[in-house]
Structure 1
Protein backbone atom coordinates (compact mmCIF):
# COMPACT_ATOMS: atom_id res chain seq x y z
CA UNK A 1 0.00 0.00 0.00
CA UNK A 2 2.83 2.43 0.79
CA UNK A 3 4.37 1.76 -2.62
CA UNK A 4 1.04 2.54 -4.29
CA UNK A 5 0.68 5.83 -2.36
CA UNK A 6 4.25 6.77 -3.28
CA UNK A 7 3.56 6.13 -6.99
CA UNK A 8 0.33 8.14 -6.88
CA UNK A 9 2.06 11.05 -5.12
CA UNK A 10 4.93 10.93 -7.61
CA UNK A 11 2.51 11.00 -10.56
CA UNK A 12 0.60 13.96 -9.14
CA UNK A 13 3.84 15.84 -8.53
CA UNK A 14 5.12 15.08 -12.05
CA UNK A 15 2.25 16.96 -13.64
CA UNK A 16 3.48 20.11 -11.91
CA UNK A 17 6.96 19.62 -13.34
CA UNK A 18 5.47 19.98 -16.83
CA UNK A 19 3.81 23.24 -15.85
CA UNK A 20 7.07 24.94 -14.87
CA UNK A 21 8.56 25.12 -18.40
CA UNK A 22 5.18 26.22 -19.77
CA UNK A 23 4.96 29.03 -17.23
CA UNK A 24 8.54 30.09 -18.02
CA UNK A 25 7.78 30.25 -21.74
CA UNK A 26 4.63 32.27 -21.13
CA UNK A 27 6.52 34.63 -18.84
CA UNK A 28 9.31 35.16 -21.41
CA UNK A 29 6.73 35.84 -24.13
CA UNK A 30 4.94 38.39 -21.93
CA UNK A 31 8.25 40.09 -21.13
CA UNK A 32 9.11 40.19 -24.83
CA UNK A 33 5.75 41.83 -25.60
CA UNK A 34 6.28 44.35 -22.82
CA UNK A 35 9.69 45.27 -24.23
CA UNK A 36 8.22 45.69 -27.72
CA UNK A 37 5.45 47.91 -26.41
CA UNK A 38 7.98 49.92 -24.36
CA UNK A 39 10.04 50.52 -27.49
CA UNK A 40 6.96 51.84 -29.30
CA UNK A 41 5.88 53.91 -26.28
CA UNK A 42 9.35 55.39 -26.01
CA UNK A 43 9.23 56.40 -29.70
CA UNK A 44 6.07 58.42 -29.12
CA UNK A 45 7.86 60.93 -26.93
CA UNK A 46 11.42 60.69 -28.25
CA UNK A 47 11.64 63.69 -30.56
CA UNK A 48 15.31 62.94 -31.24
CA UNK A 49 14.31 59.69 -33.00
CA UNK A 50 14.34 60.24 -36.75
CA UNK A 51 10.94 59.40 -38.16
CA UNK A 52 10.06 57.90 -41.53
CA UNK A 53 8.01 59.47 -44.26
CA UNK A 54 7.53 62.99 -45.54
CA UNK A 55 5.55 65.37 -43.31
CA UNK A 56 3.86 68.17 -45.27
CA UNK A 57 1.96 71.19 -43.99
CA UNK A 58 -1.11 71.55 -46.22
CA UNK A 59 -2.63 74.51 -44.35
CA UNK A 60 -1.99 75.98 -40.92
CA UNK A 61 -4.25 73.33 -39.39
CA UNK A 62 -3.95 70.40 -41.81
CA UNK A 63 -0.93 68.13 -42.17
CA UNK A 64 -0.14 65.01 -44.15
CA UNK A 65 2.44 62.30 -43.60
CA UNK A 66 3.32 60.44 -46.80
CA UNK A 67 4.94 57.05 -46.40
CA UNK A 68 6.00 54.91 -49.37
CA UNK A 69 7.88 51.86 -48.12
CA UNK A 70 8.41 50.74 -51.71
CA UNK A 71 10.84 53.68 -52.17
CA UNK A 72 12.84 52.91 -49.02
CA UNK A 73 16.32 51.32 -49.26
CA UNK A 74 15.14 48.81 -46.64
CA UNK A 75 11.74 48.19 -48.24
CA UNK A 76 9.62 45.40 -46.79
CA UNK A 77 7.70 44.88 -50.05
CA UNK A 78 9.17 41.45 -50.82
CA UNK A 79 8.89 40.37 -47.17
CA UNK A 80 5.21 41.33 -47.08
CA UNK A 81 4.48 39.81 -50.51
CA UNK A 82 6.05 36.53 -49.36
CA UNK A 83 3.62 36.52 -46.42
CA UNK A 84 0.70 37.00 -48.81
CA UNK A 85 0.13 40.72 -48.25
CA UNK A 86 -0.21 43.45 -50.88
CA UNK A 87 2.98 45.13 -49.62
CA UNK A 88 2.13 48.77 -50.40
CA UNK A 89 -0.25 51.27 -48.89
CA UNK A 90 -2.95 48.84 -47.73
CA UNK A 91 -0.36 46.71 -45.91
CA UNK A 92 1.29 49.71 -44.28
CA UNK A 93 -2.08 51.03 -43.20
CA UNK A 94 -2.50 47.76 -41.29
CA UNK A 95 1.03 47.76 -39.88
CA UNK A 96 0.74 51.34 -38.66
CA UNK A 97 -2.71 50.57 -37.25
CA UNK A 98 -1.16 47.66 -35.33
CA UNK A 99 1.69 49.81 -34.00
CA UNK A 100 -0.78 52.47 -32.87
CA UNK A 101 -2.90 49.86 -31.06
CA UNK A 102 0.23 48.54 -29.34
CA UNK A 103 1.35 51.99 -28.18
CA UNK A 104 -1.37 54.65 -27.98
CA UNK A 105 -4.77 53.76 -29.45
CA UNK A 106 -6.00 57.34 -28.91
CA UNK A 107 -3.89 58.36 -31.92
CA UNK A 108 -6.35 56.54 -34.19
CA UNK A 109 -9.06 59.14 -33.54
CA UNK A 110 -6.69 61.97 -34.51
CA UNK A 111 -5.68 60.69 -37.95
CA UNK A 112 -7.21 59.67 -41.25
CA UNK A 113 -5.64 57.13 -43.62
CA UNK A 114 -5.64 57.37 -47.40
CA UNK A 115 -3.95 54.29 -48.82
CA UNK A 116 -2.81 53.91 -52.38
CA UNK A 117 -1.33 50.93 -54.19
CA UNK A 118 2.25 51.95 -53.48
CA UNK A 119 2.00 54.08 -50.37
CA UNK A 120 0.05 55.78 -47.70
CA UNK A 121 -1.02 59.31 -46.81
CA UNK A 122 -1.98 59.95 -43.20
CA UNK A 123 -3.86 63.16 -42.48
CA UNK A 124 -4.28 65.08 -39.23
CA UNK A 125 -4.90 68.56 -37.93
CA UNK A 126 -2.24 67.84 -35.30
CA UNK A 127 1.37 67.92 -36.55
CA UNK A 128 2.68 66.33 -33.33
CA UNK A 129 0.45 63.29 -33.82
CA UNK A 130 1.87 62.72 -37.31
CA UNK A 131 5.40 63.12 -35.94
CA UNK A 132 4.60 60.36 -33.45
CA UNK A 133 3.28 58.12 -36.24
CA UNK A 134 6.44 58.82 -38.21
CA UNK A 135 8.55 57.65 -35.26
CA UNK A 136 6.38 54.54 -34.83
CA UNK A 137 7.11 53.67 -38.46
CA UNK A 138 10.84 54.01 -37.69
CA UNK A 139 10.59 51.56 -34.82
CA UNK A 140 8.52 49.08 -36.83
CA UNK A 141 11.03 49.27 -39.69
CA UNK A 142 13.97 48.64 -37.35
CA UNK A 143 12.58 45.71 -35.33
CA UNK A 144 11.22 42.63 -37.10
CA UNK A 145 9.60 41.36 -33.90
CA UNK A 146 7.59 44.56 -33.56
CA UNK A 147 6.73 44.48 -37.26
CA UNK A 148 5.40 40.93 -36.94
CA UNK A 149 3.41 41.79 -33.81
CA UNK A 150 1.92 44.88 -35.51
CA UNK A 151 0.91 42.66 -38.44
CA UNK A 152 -0.66 40.17 -36.03
CA UNK A 153 -2.63 42.92 -34.26
CA UNK A 154 -3.81 44.32 -37.61
CA UNK A 155 -4.73 40.85 -38.88
CA UNK A 156 -6.84 40.16 -35.80
CA UNK A 157 -8.67 43.46 -36.34
CA UNK A 158 -9.19 42.82 -40.05
CA UNK A 159 -6.94 45.74 -40.99
CA UNK A 160 -4.16 43.89 -42.80
CA UNK A 161 -4.02 43.50 -46.59
Structure 2
Protein backbone atom coordinates (compact mmCIF):
# COMPACT_ATOMS: atom_id res chain seq x y z
CA UNK A 1 0.00 0.00 0.00
CA UNK A 2 1.16 3.53 -0.73
CA UNK A 3 -0.08 6.81 0.64
CA UNK A 4 0.51 10.10 -1.09
CA UNK A 5 -0.58 13.07 0.98
CA UNK A 6 -1.83 16.17 -0.74
CA UNK A 7 -1.00 19.56 0.74
CA UNK A 8 -4.70 20.41 0.87
CA UNK A 9 -6.63 17.19 1.53
CA UNK A 10 -10.28 17.13 0.48
CA UNK A 11 -12.99 16.17 2.96
CA UNK A 12 -13.54 12.89 1.10
CA UNK A 13 -9.91 11.95 1.81
CA UNK A 14 -10.58 11.89 5.56
CA UNK A 15 -13.92 10.10 5.06
CA UNK A 16 -12.43 7.34 2.92
CA UNK A 17 -8.94 6.87 4.33
CA UNK A 18 -9.49 8.14 7.89
CA UNK A 19 -6.51 10.47 7.42
CA UNK A 20 -6.45 13.35 9.86
CA UNK A 21 -3.26 15.25 9.07
CA UNK A 22 -4.49 18.82 9.42
CA UNK A 23 -1.01 20.39 9.30
CA UNK A 24 -0.78 19.48 5.61
CA UNK A 25 -3.50 22.05 4.87
CA UNK A 26 -1.21 25.08 5.07
CA UNK A 27 1.35 25.31 2.25
CA UNK A 28 3.46 27.61 4.45
CA UNK A 29 4.21 24.71 6.81
CA UNK A 30 5.37 22.27 4.13
CA UNK A 31 9.05 23.24 4.49
CA UNK A 32 8.90 22.72 8.27
CA UNK A 33 7.21 19.36 7.68
CA UNK A 34 9.89 18.33 5.20
CA UNK A 35 12.64 19.24 7.71
CA UNK A 36 11.12 16.73 10.13
CA UNK A 37 10.49 14.19 7.39
CA UNK A 38 12.39 11.27 8.94
CA UNK A 39 10.48 11.08 12.23
CA UNK A 40 7.22 12.23 10.64
CA UNK A 41 7.45 9.64 7.91
CA UNK A 42 8.01 6.81 10.39
CA UNK A 43 5.01 7.96 12.43
CA UNK A 44 2.76 8.05 9.36
CA UNK A 45 3.96 4.64 8.21
CA UNK A 46 2.93 3.23 11.57
CA UNK A 47 -0.32 5.17 12.02
CA UNK A 48 -1.73 4.34 8.57
CA UNK A 49 -0.02 0.94 8.24
CA UNK A 50 1.34 1.62 4.76
CA UNK A 51 4.66 0.64 3.19
CA UNK A 52 5.63 4.09 1.91
CA UNK A 53 4.74 7.73 2.51
CA UNK A 54 5.43 10.46 -0.05
CA UNK A 55 4.76 14.09 0.72
CA UNK A 56 3.41 16.14 -2.15
CA UNK A 57 5.76 18.84 -3.29
CA UNK A 58 4.03 20.30 -6.39
CA UNK A 59 7.42 20.42 -8.13
CA UNK A 60 8.34 16.76 -7.60
CA UNK A 61 5.08 14.77 -7.43
CA UNK A 62 5.39 13.85 -11.13
CA UNK A 63 8.84 12.35 -10.43
CA UNK A 64 7.42 10.39 -7.48
CA UNK A 65 4.57 9.06 -9.63
CA UNK A 66 7.00 8.05 -12.39
CA UNK A 67 9.23 6.26 -9.86
CA UNK A 68 6.16 4.41 -8.56
CA UNK A 69 5.36 3.27 -12.10
CA UNK A 70 2.07 5.14 -12.46
CA UNK A 71 0.56 4.39 -15.87
CA UNK A 72 -2.64 6.39 -15.46
CA UNK A 73 -3.94 8.86 -12.88
CA UNK A 74 -7.51 8.68 -11.62
CA UNK A 75 -8.29 12.25 -10.61
CA UNK A 76 -11.37 13.07 -8.57
CA UNK A 77 -13.54 15.70 -10.22
CA UNK A 78 -17.12 16.39 -9.20
CA UNK A 79 -19.86 16.29 -11.84
CA UNK A 80 -23.61 16.10 -11.32
CA UNK A 81 -24.16 14.69 -14.77
CA UNK A 82 -21.25 13.27 -16.73
CA UNK A 83 -23.16 13.57 -20.03
CA UNK A 84 -23.74 17.30 -19.57
CA UNK A 85 -20.48 17.86 -17.64
CA UNK A 86 -22.10 20.02 -14.96
CA UNK A 87 -19.73 20.71 -12.09
CA UNK A 88 -20.77 19.39 -8.69
CA UNK A 89 -21.09 22.30 -6.32
CA UNK A 90 -21.01 21.69 -2.58
CA UNK A 91 -24.44 22.72 -1.35
CA UNK A 92 -23.03 23.94 1.98
CA UNK A 93 -19.92 25.84 0.92
CA UNK A 94 -20.62 26.51 -2.75
CA UNK A 95 -17.12 25.28 -3.64
CA UNK A 96 -16.53 23.08 -6.68
CA UNK A 97 -14.37 19.96 -6.61
CA UNK A 98 -11.50 20.52 -9.04
CA UNK A 99 -8.98 17.82 -10.06
CA UNK A 100 -5.52 17.74 -8.51
CA UNK A 101 -3.02 19.87 -10.36
CA UNK A 102 0.76 19.69 -10.25
CA UNK A 103 3.80 20.39 -12.39
CA UNK A 104 4.19 17.64 -14.99
CA UNK A 105 0.59 16.36 -14.75
CA UNK A 106 0.32 16.44 -18.55
CA UNK A 107 3.02 13.72 -18.75
CA UNK A 108 0.47 11.15 -17.54
CA UNK A 109 -2.75 9.94 -19.10
CA UNK A 110 -5.52 10.70 -16.64
CA UNK A 111 -9.20 9.91 -16.16
CA UNK A 112 -11.49 12.44 -14.48
CA UNK A 113 -14.78 10.53 -14.83
CA UNK A 114 -14.30 7.18 -13.12
CA UNK A 115 -13.82 8.14 -9.46
CA UNK A 116 -16.68 10.56 -8.73
CA UNK A 117 -19.55 8.02 -8.91
CA UNK A 118 -17.53 5.53 -6.85
CA UNK A 119 -16.50 8.06 -4.20
CA UNK A 120 -20.03 9.44 -4.07
CA UNK A 121 -21.40 5.98 -3.34
CA UNK A 122 -18.94 5.50 -0.49
CA UNK A 123 -20.93 8.10 1.41
CA UNK A 124 -24.26 6.45 0.50
CA UNK A 125 -23.65 2.76 1.08
CA UNK A 126 -22.63 1.72 4.60
CA UNK A 127 -21.01 -1.42 5.93
CA UNK A 128 -22.65 -3.38 8.73
CA UNK A 129 -20.14 -1.90 11.21
CA UNK A 130 -20.91 1.66 10.04
CA UNK A 131 -24.64 1.00 10.41
CA UNK A 132 -24.05 -0.41 13.89
CA UNK A 133 -22.18 2.76 14.94
CA UNK A 134 -24.92 4.95 13.45
CA UNK A 135 -27.67 3.03 15.28
CA UNK A 136 -25.76 3.21 18.55
CA UNK A 137 -25.20 6.96 18.11
CA UNK A 138 -28.90 7.53 17.41
CA UNK A 139 -29.85 5.49 20.47
CA UNK A 140 -27.50 7.47 22.73
CA UNK A 141 -28.79 10.77 21.35
CA UNK A 142 -32.41 9.68 21.78
CA UNK A 143 -31.85 8.59 25.40
CA UNK A 144 -29.95 11.76 26.29
CA UNK A 145 -32.61 13.98 24.70
CA UNK A 146 -35.34 12.02 26.48
CA UNK A 147 -33.71 12.70 29.86
CA UNK A 148 -33.04 16.35 29.04
CA UNK A 149 -36.62 17.03 27.93
CA UNK A 150 -38.09 14.92 30.76
CA UNK A 151 -36.20 16.86 33.41
CA UNK A 152 -37.19 20.24 31.96
CA UNK A 153 -40.94 19.45 32.01
TM-score, L = length of structure 1: 0.19
Between the two structures, name the one with larger relative contact order (CA 8 Å, sep ≥ 6): 1
Q: For the pair shown, which has the larger CA radius of gyration, 1 or 2?
A: 1
* More helix, by proportion: 1
